[in-house]
Structure 1
Amino acid sequence: MRFFVFFIYFYNMKLKTLTLFFILFCHFHVVQAQLGFCTGTKGDPIFTENFGSGLDFGPALNPGITSYTFINGTPNDGQYTLHYRTNLYSSWHNSLDHTPDTDVNGYNGKSLIVNASIAPNYFFKKVVTNLCVNTTFEFSAWLMNVYNAASVGACSGTGIPINVTFEIWDETETTLLQSGNTNAIQGTNAPIWTQYGLVFTTASNQTSVVLKMRNNGAGGCGNDLAIDDIMFRSCGDLAQIKTAGVNSNFMNICQNQLPNDIQLQVEINNPNNHVYQWQKSNDAINWTAISGANSTSYWVTNFSTTTYYRVKIAQDISNLNNDFCSTVTPEFGIHIISIPNAPTSLGNKTYCINEINKSIAVSVNTNETTNWYGSPTGNDLVLANSNVLIPSSSGTYYAEAKNINSLCISNTRTPVTIQLVDVPQLGANQNVLICPNESLLLTVNVENATYLWSNAATTPFIFVNQAGAYTVTVTIANNCSSTKTFFVTQSVVPKIAQVITEFSTVTIICENQGPFEYSLDGIHFQNSNTFYNVSGGLKKAYVRTTNSCNIPDVKAFVLVQIPNFFSPNNDGINDFFEIENAQDFRNFHFYIFDRYGKLIQKLSTSNSRWDGKYLGLDLPAADYWYNANFEDTIQISGHFSILR
């Protein structure tokens, strides 16, 4: 006899943890254990045990299944019963079985309820038959520690924990195929069903195994458990069907875009250790084997209707036709999508080119939209996903229906024509000026057109003599029209209010605002109303408009330039006191006085210069005063100096 120590990893689904523990065997043949649940594709259950249903206790298990004693009531240590509720003691959880069955009386599904013996021992043994050779299976069962840790005055703490070892033996019970231990499962404040599982593989001639459950816990207050829903089912490698360019388990193909063929491929961890049978179905319910399709790939060449594909996979060819000994991949659907009908035209349209809403439209079915093209075929897309098109030019446009979900398009495109008719070219609205006391001609000229002015005139032109807005609408064939407005403004007539002079500077002030142009000779005009370095004399101020009306206003004024000083010392510079351009004045009198008011000199139009002498003698340097009269209307006075 040899002893073997195994390091076993157990996966707890509820706690999502891996547990490492040691098991010491003494046996003739030992297989290194693989613990946990099937991580691949699972087949239909080949064996299940749910312990029946009903509201009474029992019935007892068949002989040979357990060494415990059946009790038709509450079990003591080393006894068991079957019941639909677990609260056989007040300190036990009040729970239904794991998957409660129902009838007219309510829930009645049963579980195996075990009050463990004082000493560890096997309490369950079941021969499972009709398994498949060379096949990996998953065993699973649901356990619950029935002790309610929240109960008062019962066990100490959480009670004695339950501890169960699951073992899978060959039918001779000489070869251990798999085993696993739950470790201590403590009592809880609420009932918790926890699933445990093992994965094992049958030999080439093996169709039966023996399931054993061993109690490893001590008897006493606690270590009481319920078991339910024992199951065996085949476990295949994780497999799925794929095809190039598709990341889901289906693909849509439009009826008018059918390919020549599509290769479907089984993706599986160990492709060489399996046998395959491809199947197809029209409804994903009823499946038919595809003759000769027994490899990891299959070429689809018939696309007449929507078809689903799946692959049945087994580890031995003898199991391929046994649903309990094989697994199937998730289905892969090739959906043949009907194409939409071509859109229905809402009519060809004719518009004047200056209309705001110039559109053509089609109608399509629900869940469809429209793509517009410039030709019956080809990819010259004009506008996508709109049933309405607003073209920028005349022509025929082609509408193609597209299903919003499948993106399938119609076989043909619907032509829709739009004609954009030119309108009279009248130009932009105009601002025009009318001169006072004149008429203004407003005109447009379009051949073969009718006219309607805002003053009700129907001729190509009108005469106006008042400011205002005058609008004309011109209409040509197809009733297309354009409108133009003339904004007529009355020209301003300049009116000079005054002319301000300051020695040689002249400023012209008008009563109204321009724009105006200004002049002192009626020939040379400027935009500024101020003139500099102007010589003295009798002058005229001119103001006119800057527009074509050219209406001037004229005002005469006198610019008298009287020197502030002169120096009569015969040096040829500023030797005389002189009134500039005195000859311009028809009537001019200028009187000079000394500081005592004595008249010294009299100047006039004919005698406008003084040499600074009085009675032939030079007057001394001093200030002298004057009093002047120009044109009998202008009176000025002031003083000047003689410098020696």
Structure 2
Amino acid sequence: MDSTSNCQFGLLHFKNGFFKRATFSKHIMNIFSLAVVFMLILLSQQQSFSQGLGDPIFKEDFGDINDGSEQHVFNDLRTGTSEGVYFKYNPLPYINSIDFYSPQRWALGDAYRDNRFVNSGGAPGVPAGVSFQGSFPASVNQGNWGPVFKNGANNTNSLDGVGGYSITNDSRGYYQGYMARVPDHTSGDYTGYMLVVDAHSSTRLYYNRVIDGLCAGTSFKFSVWVNDLNVEGNTPPQVQFKVYDESDYVSADSDVGLIFSYSTLAADVSPAGTWKELQYTFTMPPGVSEVRLQIENIVDTQYGNDLAIDDIQFQPFGPPSALIGLNSICIGEDPELTASVTGEPFPTNYFQLQRSLPGENNWVDVGTPVTTTGTDEVQFPNPNAPEDNTDYEYRVVVAGDLTTLGNPNCRVVSDPLLVQFYNHTVSIQAVPDAICVGGSSDLTAIIQSEIAGKTYEYFWEESINGVDWTIIDGENGSTINTGPLSVTTQYRVQTRVVGANCFGTGYSEIDAVTVIAPELVITNPAPICGPGTIDITDASITAGSDAGLVFTYFDTDGTTELTAVEAAAISVSGVYFITATIDGCSVTEEVTVAINDCSLNITKSVDPTSISAPATLNYTINVTNEGNVSLTGVVVTDPFTDGVTPLALTGGDTDNDGELDLTEIWTYETSYAADQAAVDAGADIVNTAFVDSNETAQDQASATTTI
């Protein structure tokens, strides 16, 4: 609710017609009087309105329950709800002919004139089913909720009775059932205040106000929302509106100076319990700038005549004006603002361009006034500085002469035109932002400061190094999928409105999709000979891999996981598998295990095999490879030589590689001189040769010469 935000109170004054003069700036704008002035006209003619309107000279919506004004809250259990009824604590200073009512302000004295419920015994009592929230003065009993007429000391329809009014958010604040329950009109949800009146037959003059600061010859529109609250079919509220030329005014009973008068009809507020907007227009006669408004009750009974009033507004009007231009522009672009009047223009149309930050209603002039005649258009120069990217609302004010152009009481305004800059920014959200090799991510472009109702197109780019960028063809939506990635890739996007060539603030910040690619380096273990085992968990096998990897070991089928004990004692040759995992991403590599059959065979012969006299014994030693791999470091020793020095190879290394291959027979020769002592000893001469290699255990063979 903006009860005062548009009111130019310093330009329009109200004066109390009884004894005291008061201005808008002091008395909430003395709205009610002016409101009802036009209500008389408004009530009579609820025509649709197609003229150009100026800023409201005032608007009265009576505030809301959160506006900080002093208030009291009460509750009626009959409604089955815990919602409170709010009453403003203080009366309006410009209403004096009827009593103000708020439950918290009751005082001792005549029960009727204190607006309290009185039971059949004549004492204050509690209406059935009514309870209150809040504290009452000790001297005040619970009583009536809402404003009531008061019949006087004798409880008769006597002339000493008087009506009552409240400022409340809910008309259920009346304990009797003949007032309809309605919320205020402004909010429609019981959070705003409205004026609720219960008039008496003796009530006559509601309002008597003087309004000055108006422009002679200017037309005005008055509008007000009224609700007939009486639901029992009794007399609806009716009032008579009178407007006087204040300079000629004599009294309320005289027609001297009367500009017009109007009495409302029952149909103007029908049906009961329904908000009705009433509006009327009139033109100030030449030479008149100050008028007196009077509103009188013309219902001669207190049975009925119950009403609520809200959202009273009064504003000048004239020929409709229009401001057109570009709603959305690039930074530095001209919004191409063009204004004109339609219908019957002023003899000369004076235009002033204004602007305000959106929603602030704080209008300032832009440039100087320009003029046209008839309905000719006027083009305004670009109002924006080249570097300015501030969104503004623009409007034009129009008057028939230059002197009234600056007077809010005497001009019309166009509807505001919001001009927004394409000043959007864009960011990227990657889900997920880290993936494994071969995975993909969904990228979403998020626009900030976008213009509502616009369709945006997107331009995506990708880069491996953040320097060389490639446009992603065919991707112009707000979301894309990266597809399978093998390396970390960076992305950026820019966006523009379809049909415009503005990219806002440009590219988004770079967003990278990290590809997690564990590096697993495998060094196959050296082959061994059985029955030995190989430990494939040995750190030397995965040396050079990424730090932090977690290893899992698999059998030769690639699927059967090995335990730690099994992986540390591989006894069968084959291709095994090691999987390395980090951050949920894995890589698998082969590890080759070779456990060979390493076997030697040695044979030894002697010539001669029998002696009876001293002789030279010639030995031949043959060594063969009985396994499946070549053998290295083959050494043959013979104790009859010296038992230490290896025998020289006399043949068999056909490829001269120093390795005993599977097809080779290596031959060694040595001799022994058997002397007479050996013969005399009579014991057979047994000579044993030994063979060894890098891969095998030692083996031996013997040759015997008999004596």
TM-score range, shorter chain: 0.3 to 0.5
Task: Choose 1 or 2 for highest CA Rg.
Answer: 1
Tell me the TM-score normalised to structure 1 length.
0.40
More strand by share: 1
- Greater relative CO (CA pairs within 8 A, separation 6+): 2
Tell me the TM-score normalised to structure 2 length.
0.37
More helix by share: 2
